[in-house]
Structure 1
Amino acid sequence: MDCMSLLGFGACAPDAGFRAGLPFPADDITREAMPAMLRRRASRSTQMAFSAALRACSQAGRSPAGLPAVFASAAGEIQITDQLCLELTRAEPMVSPAAFHNSVQNTVAGYWSIAQRCTQPATALAAGDDTFAMGLLEAWCQLACLGGELLLVCYDERWPAYLAPGRGQVEFASALLLAAGGWPDAVMQLGRPVYATSAVDEFSPPAGSDPVLAVLPLLARAAGGASVQPSLPVGRNWLVDVHKR
């Protein structure tokens, strides 16, 4: 496979101040993105992921039910997991079955499959600072092997401050609808993510402090950024070639 095509993208940033400073369109959490029964049980990370994913599908004119998906998150359901761990330190812990059910890394993938009635494969992954780059590389591998189209969603809610001071303090989700090969109506075409032997100079805070924000340069270019750089950083040591159509 020579390249993959970006057919649509979406972003969700609940903080209005952060959202206003982004160089691309982003939404607050869209309550209608989830059925009410599921929404009552879902975390903010799940609701953000849904909001971004449905925007990407809508922009590309694709039905979510027919798309394989990759869900990438550095911390997953970190708030719920933190609450469970704190509960276990009590003299008489009372662990909620619902909270435990929602604490796993593939929570979003499960809710997505249920809500969209999607029987296509779904992958959930985490890779620390390289989470977005690994999500993009996983998407590349699946498309190169199987062809077709795929939805990549990268998300993180705010981390408990004491776990990693100064990091994980931005709530954000992004979604890319990708297709194998070059498409004439693509927003842009992307090469295979490659590892750089040294840190990428352009990759600086805030993206350097929150793994979920590694997608920002790519979304800025997708929204019409005028940069002529042939490659974009997608992580501290990762680059991807980009060609606007």
Structure 2
Amino acid sequence: MECMSLLGVGACAPDTEFRASLPFPAFDINRDTIPPLLRRRSSQAMQMAFSAATAACEKAQRPPSAFPAIFASVAGEIKTTDQICTELVKDDGVISPAGFHNSVQNTAAGYWSIAQQCTQPASALAAGSDTLPMALLEAWCQLACQGGELLLVCYDETWPEYLDPGRGNPAFACALVLAAGAVDGRLMQIGRPQAGEAIFPAAWTNSVNSMPILAAIPLLEAVSAGKGAQTIALTPHTPGWQVDVRGWE
């Protein structure tokens, strides 16, 4: 496979001030993307993931149930997990079965399959500060082996402040609908993620050090700009990960 084609994109940033600072279009959480029966038990992470994923599918003009999905998050359901740990150290040590059920890394992926009545495979991954490049590499591998199209969602909710002071903020999610090879109507061609020396934009380095999933900003900015071929850094550390992209020219 020579490249992946980007067919649709969506970005969700609940913080109004941060959203306004982004160099590409983003929006607040759209709770209507989650069915009412699931909405009451949804976390910020799940709400953002669904909002971005739905927008990307609409942009690509694809039904959400049409293809496999990959959900990537550094910390997953960190707020729910933190709450469970807090309850465990109390004298009675009783935790909510629903809370435990919703604390796993694949919570958003599982509920997405349920909500969209999607029988295609869905996977969840985490790789610390390399979560974004590993998610793109996983997408590349699946498309190279199986062809077709897939949905990639990268997201992280705000982390409890005391767990890692100065990190885990602001919350953010983005979603990409990707296809194997060069497909008509694509927004951008994306190459295979690889190790390299590309320099991450200094303006966003501090933000990514605080919230690693924000490493997607340069790639999303390139999508918004549209034209030209360039190499995009996927991590703020050097050497790190990078990807070659080409706009619609």
More displaced, 137-146 or 201-210? 201-210
The code of the aligned residue for 1:195 comes to A
How far 1:99 moved relative to its partner? Answer: 0.5
Q: Is the 8 A contact 1:149 1:177 kept in 2?
A: yes
Closer, same or farther: CA 104–162 of 1 in aligned 2, 3 Å: same
Matched residue type, 2:85? C
Give the TM-score, by structure 2 length: 0.94
In structure 2, distance between residues paired with 1:19 and 1:202: 18
AA partner of residue 74 (structure 1): V
Residue 87 of structure 1, CA deviation: 0.8
Partner of residue 239 from structure 1, selected from 225, 239, 242: 242
Deviations 1:128-174 (A, max 9, x none): 00001100000000000000001000000001112222111111100
Shift in alpha-carbon separation, 1:98–1:9, aligned structure 2, 3 A? same
Distance in 2 between the 1:58 and 1:152 partners? 14
The CA distance in 1 between the partners of 2:130 and 2:229, in whole Å, is: 21
How far does the alpha carbon of each residue in 1:77-100 deviate from its partner, in whole angstroms, 9 at most, with x for none?
Answer: 000000101111111122001100
**Is 1:36 matched with 2:39?**
no
Shift of 1:126: 0.3
RMSD across aligned positions (CA): 1.4
Q: Does 1:208 align with 2:209?
A: yes
- Displacement after TM superposition at 1:201 (Å): 4.3
Residue 174 of structure 2 aligns with which residue? Answer: 174
Which structure: greater helix fraction? 2
CA contact (8 A) 2:68 2:120 kept: yes
Q: Report the Cα distance in structure 2 between the residues aligned to 1:229 and 1:75, rounded to whole angstroms.
A: 32
How many Å apart are 1:73 and its aligned residue?
Answer: 0.2
Amino acid at match of 2:81: T
Aligned residue in 2 for 1:62: 62
Match of 1:217 in 2: 218
Change (3 A) 1:21 1:233: same
Q: Which residue of 2 aligns with 1:16?
A: 16
Q: Percent identity?
A: 59
CA contact (8 A) 1:207 1:216 kept: no
Aligned residues: 243
Provide the rounded CA distance (Å) in 2 between the counterparts of 1:205 and 1:34: 32
In structure 2, do the counterparts of structure 1 residues 25 and 134 end up closer, same or farther at CA, with 3 Å as the change threshold?
same
> Counterpart of 1:68 in structure 2: which amino acid?
P
* Separation in structure 1 between the aligned mates of residue 210 and residue 45 of structure 2, nearest angstrom: 18
TM-score of the two chains, using structure 1 as the length reference: 0.96
Q: Which residue of 1 aligns with 2:121?
A: 121
Q: Deviations over 1:93-132 (max 9, x none)?
A: 2200110010000000110000000000011000000001
CA contact (8 A) 2:229 2:246 kept: no
Partners of 2:145 and 2:229 in 1: CA distance: 29
Kindly indicate whether the alpha-carbon contact (under 8 Å) linking 1:3 and 1:192 is maintained by their aligned counterparts in 2. yes
Distance 1:222 1:199 in 2: 18
- Residue aligning to 2:89: 89
Residue 124 of structure 2: SS of its match in structure 1?
strand
User: Partner letter of residue 183 of structure 1?
Assistant: V
What is the CA–CA distance in structure 2 between the aligned matches of 1:217 and 1:229, rounded to whole Å?
13
Contact 2:187 2:226 in 1 (8 A): no
